[in-house]
Amino acid sequence: MFQKGTHICFESEQISNFNQNRSLAMKKVNGKILVIDDDHDVLHTARIVLKPLFTDITTESNPQQIRYLLNHHQYNVILLDMNYTAGVTSGKEGLSWLSTIMEMVPHQQVVMITAYGDIKLAVEAMKLGAADFVVKPWENEKLQATIMSAFHHSQSRKELADLKKEQQSLKKLVSGTEATIIGNSQPMQELFTVIRKVAATDASVLILGENGTGKELVAQAIHRDSQRSEEAFIKVDLGSITGNLFESELFGHKKGAFTDAHQGKKGRFELAHKGTLFLDEIGNLPTALQAKLLTVIQSREVIRVGENEPVAIDCRIIAATNGNIHQMVLDQEFREDLLYRLNTVELTIPPLRDRVEDIPLLAEHFLSIFAQKYRKPKLKLGDGGVQCLLNYAWPGNVRELQHAMERAVIMVERTTLTADDFLLDQKVKTPFATGALNLDEMEKVAIERAIQKNQGNISKAAKELGLGRTTIYRKLEKYGIRY
């Protein structure tokens, strides 16, 4: 330990033994630490104590250099003394420099160095934004633990800041070309209406739909239009997380909780705090893990692996699945109580074959994107190409159409895309493969098909089409459809 103003110092043998012990006990991390104190002995000692833990230790005796240092470097943690003028013990200098640091780098991790008995001063510093404080004379292990804790906190802040930056980019993408939800059909317009209504709330949402229909885009749209839009949108693909990593990934873990836990980590729930957590492929979650997920959603707190203290979380839950989750409940493959927690509002995205009138619009949309991407600005979609797309049932939905358009744009050597440019299995046809392009006729056939599929049950047919009961009865009368 070291106390400012004394002549206590490390013997060379003590320093060597200390460094050797710390090197064996802890792995050095890639971190930049700045120590500011006018006592050169304190700076020397701090360097010795911290060097085994961090790759970069910078020391500075003149606080006037703070602005220059912060303008030219980024530090994970700053260790800042309270007093710099001989005979002054008020701590006002340190508080003033702390304010300067926080003004320049608002989320900077600063640990204050204070003398014994100045705890009230340290508390005042923490109110100004300091992360923690150490008391002189310090214990070496205590100093190391304090700086390491501040370092991990800075890493968590950076991770969250990176996520938010990524989400801002994602928001631009979603509102731009490639990630826009396209559709003028009646089912899509009604879906848009529901999205707008539910986005304004904090209700849990369950999105149902086949693969490739755009479930994640709908989740992003709900988040983008919500009051949480400035916070993180965190996606978890539950189908890809193995059972032994589930709790660590979703709830986080402390350092040393298991073999590979070299440092503590926040789980997805904590990263989504104040934002939105998108649980994709919820139907793939094993029953045993469903119970753990339900507990967290009900209690709104997580317990990191290896810890006992709960951490409060506030995030909106949006889940999605391509499976028949209601049948899974009946088959006891999915917990009914968890389903009730997830589907305060339930949205079903219609497959592309049930909104065929949107195919030309989507095709032109993707053509515009890929023609620009592959530098074929004069490329257009011919009538034969449109008819080919309409004749196909699109089992892969919008995603398959997107890939088909990109492949055609890459391979075509003419300025017009024709049926020959789409490598589609023409055995997979829609009910609209008759050549008729009349939208009313398409809609009539779609309604008849849905009624037939649901054995005359109008309510089920309306739900599958994304129509309200009033709307479907009006259309039945319009098209003279008997049921």
Name the percent of the chain lying above pLDDT 70: 85
The residue ranking higher by pLDDT, 463 or 404, is: 404
Residue 41, by phi and psi: left (phi above 0), alpha (psi -120 to 50) or beta?
alpha
Rounded to whole angstroms, the Cα distance separating 53 from 36 reads: 18
Q: What's the chain's average pLDDT? A: 84
Q: What is the pLDDT averaged over residues 390-396?
A: 91
pLDDT on residue 446: 79
CATH, range 176-348: 3.40.50.300
**Nearest to residue 293, comparing CAs of 302, 281, 284?**
302
Q: 283 with 237: CB under 8 angstroms?
A: no
For 241, phi and psi rounded to 5 degrees?
-95, 125
**Predicted confidence band of residue 455 (pLDDT cuts 50, 70, 90):** confident
Residues of the chain with CATH 1.10.10: 439-479
- Selecting from 1.10.3720.10, 1.10.8.60, 1.10.620.20, 2.60.40.10, what CATH number does the domain 352-421 have? 1.10.8.60
Please state the rounded mean pLDDT for residues 350-369.
94
CATH 1.10.8.60 in the chain, residue ranges? 352-421
CATH of 439-479 among 1.25.40, 3.40.50, 3.55.50, 1.10.10: 1.10.10
Q: pLDDT-derived band of residue 243, with 50, 70 and 90 as boundaries?
A: confident
CA-to-CA distance for 115 and 97, rounded, in angstroms? 17
Asked if pLDDT for residue 165 goes beyond 70, the answer is no
Average pLDDT for 69-73: 93
Q: How many CB atoms lie within 10 A of CB 29?
A: 15
pLDDT in tens, 176-201: 334 578 899 999 999 999 999 999 99
Q: Which CATH number fits domain 12-155: 3.10.129.10, 1.10.3720.10, 3.40.50.2300, 3.30.1540.10?
A: 3.40.50.2300
Give 272-299 pLDDT, tens digit per residue. Answer: 999 999 999 999 898 889 999 999 999 9
